[in-house]
Chain A
């Protein structure tokens, strides 16, 4: 049984059909990139995965649990912007990743000390230990997103959802963020869904690339039909997996 199963999802807002008949499955540890033109419903799909909205019909299950009604600990998220808390220092943002689920939303005494120590380890791993006592407003875009990802991972979510996480970064920073994300993924083996505009990025990072588009277009009423998954590429090995397959089967190999 697949880890994440999406069954017959449709969503519409006031007669405007955004997506319909979306079906897909994902195995644990898979990295799935989601691409598509603007307004094709890929962000809507991510919000549905996040349980920020509930679908008009269909259901999304993670590890066969009943469909979620609201965002919770099993789903981690990083948005393009506003993903960290501006009123908390960098270290406290990481601590908040653990503390917000407690009754008062904060740790006291020895718990706090231990959480701060763990936060410092996390910060060292994501390369932000030198700004632990700064407020997020003083950080660069790439640092902010590293912090947001680190914060999302402190609650150990079952799936991580990324909504154009590197969309606002300059190309150089974006490249280093790719490396950062790949390292982190190799370390944790987490399941990731990432919405992006950047096809290259989608194929570089993803195991699979889902393309959202409208299969039917009604010229009189563009809102009549919604988008769905029109392609599901295997993106491993730079998007040409068959090459490896053939090498393994047909090429004479040393024994």
Chain B
């Protein structure tokens, strides 16, 4: 039988899904054990048990100086920045994407401009943001928004112009104005695409968030990782990395569920 025709049964599929995770864990544990065998004080590859202990202590024990649990504090400030930046980027992307996709004049005016803008590496303008907006929250949120907006505009403009001409013509024969076509025909059909595009943009958004926090911040997941790097605190770094991965995964999952719930018609098609 050809491999393209072999489908794993349910139990095998679960085993296969777990396999890479287990292999990575085993490889890590073996490496950690090997290093500890040579040097009991090795800091580079702390064994999984030690990471779990660290994870428990950072998530439950308050900081001696501030009395707060830094882990949750960091999570809160990072998520605030991320969600604010992504929301702003999505709103701008949706507005301009719809306009460029629907109106030929807007396409002529902004199409190439946005294409050029999207070529600017966002991290290269981070210093400009720090100079102009200061080292506070605004510059970090701005970096995330600026980083993902050109992609969102281009993606949503493409999706809008992919709407079948037939529908747009039909709406005109029913007397719809440009505004009504945008509001009642294009916007609702683009909304599921907004969620899809945002899911794609979340990866870069995390990148910009951690980069901005690493350079200038007083709290945040990225800030903490780069801070404890000075003490080679691999156990804390790994705890945070795993946590960021879980958060990213959860956000993605939430968006997917929201799309299924809010736009049932788009899944049926």
* Chain A interface (Cβ < 8 Å from any Cβ of B): 50, 52, 70-73, 75-77, 79, 81-87, 96-97, 100-106, 135-138, 148, 151-152, 154-155, 157
Contact = CB atoms under 8 A, between A and B. Distances in A.
Contact of B264 (A50, A100, A135): A135
A101 B172 contact: no
A75 B173 contact: yes
B173 A82 contact: no
B113 interface: no
Interface stretch (B140-148, B178-186, B218-226): B178-186
Interface stretch (B162-170, B205-213, B231-239): B162-170
Given A50-B173, A71-B169, A87-B263, 11 more contacts: A72-B172, A73-B174, A79-B166, A82-B170, A83-B166, A85-B185, A105-B180, A105-B183, A138-B268, A152-B173, A155-B173
Nearest to A77: B173
Nearest to A161: B173
16 contacts: A73-B174, A81-B166, A82-B167, A82-B170, A86-B265, A87-B188, A87-B265, A96-B174, A100-B171, A101-B175, A103-B177, A104-B180, A105-B184, A137-B268, A151-B174, A155-B173
Contacts of B265: 86-87, 135-137
Given A87-B266, A137-B268, A72 B180 contact: no
B32 interface: no
A101 B185 contact: no
Contact of B170 (A83, A104, A138): A83
Contacts of A138: 268
A96 B167 contact: no
Nearest to A73: B175
A76 B170 CA distance: 8
Contact residues of B: prevailing secondary structure? helix
The 9 closest A-B pairs by CB, nearest first: A101-B175, A105-B180, A82-B164, A105-B184, A137-B268, A100-B176, A82-B166, A71-B172, A135-B265
Contacts of B268: 135, 137-138
Given A105-B180, A137-B268, A100 B263 contact: no
A100 B169 contact: no
B269 interface: yes
B7 to A, nearest CB: 26
B197 interface: no
A216 to B, nearest CB: 31
Contact of A85 (B167, B169, B263): B167
Given A71-B169, A135-B265, A155 B174 contact: yes
Residue among B173, B263, B265 with most chain A CB within 10 A: B173
B29 interface: no
Given A72-B175, A157-B173, A100 B184 contact: yes
A73 B23 CA distance: 65
Contacts of A82: 164, 166-167, 170
A105 B268 CA distance: 25
A95 B185 CA distance: 14
A91 B188 CA distance: 17
Contacts of A81: 164, 166
A46 to B, nearest CB: 11
B173 A71 contact: yes
Contacts of B174: 73, 96-97, 100-101, 151-152, 154-155
A77 B188 CA distance: 22
Interface string B125-152: 0000000000000000000000000000
B183 A79 contact: no
A135 B263 CA distance: 11
A70 B180 contact: no
Contacts of B164: 81-82
Nearest to A152: B173
Given A82-B167, A135-B265, A137-B265, A100 B189 contact: no
Nearest to B176: A100
B152 to A, nearest CB: 20
Contacts of A151: 170, 174
Contacts of B180: 100-105
